[in-house]
């Protein structure tokens, strides 16, 4: 990813590409890390729900298709 950004002056229509500051680069890295952590938490939650569902179906002794038929 380039360390630049596009700046558009809406009054004049001038478009320029400028270097990011050190703070902007650090913020981008922090935002990326936060997003990755959030995605990992979402995936872990999905996995936990799938495991709980599979465990419940195993306890009931039915398949997922049979559970769908019962709930339809």
Q: What domain count does the chain have?
A: 1
Cα distances (angstroms) measured from residue 13 to each of 5, 17, 45: 16, 13, 46
Chain-centroid distance of CA 2 in Å reads 22
User: In 3-state terms, what secondary structure has residue 12?
Assistant: coil
Residues spanned by the domain of 19: 4-71
For the segment 29-52, the average pLDDT, to the nearest whole number, is 98
Per-residue confidence (pLDDT) for residue 72, from 0 to 100: 84
pLDDT digits 0-9 by tens, 7-23 = 999 999 999 999 999 99
Residues in contact with 6: Cβ distance below 8 Å, sequence separation at least 6, in sequence order: 15, 16, 17
Per-residue confidence (pLDDT) for residue 41, from 0 to 100: 98
Q: How many helices (H) and strands (E) does the chain have?
A: 2, 2
Per-residue confidence (pLDDT) for residue 1, from 0 to 100: 58
């Amino acid at each position: 990813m380039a360390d630049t950004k596009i700046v558009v002056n809406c009054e004049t229509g001038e478009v320029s590409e400028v270097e990011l500051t050190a703070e902007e680069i650090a913020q981008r890295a922090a935002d990326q890390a936060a997003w990755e952590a959030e995605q990992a938490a979402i995936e872990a939650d999905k996995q936990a729900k799938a495991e709980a569902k599979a465990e419940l179906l195993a306890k009931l002794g039915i398949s997922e298709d049979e559970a769908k038929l019962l709930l339809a």
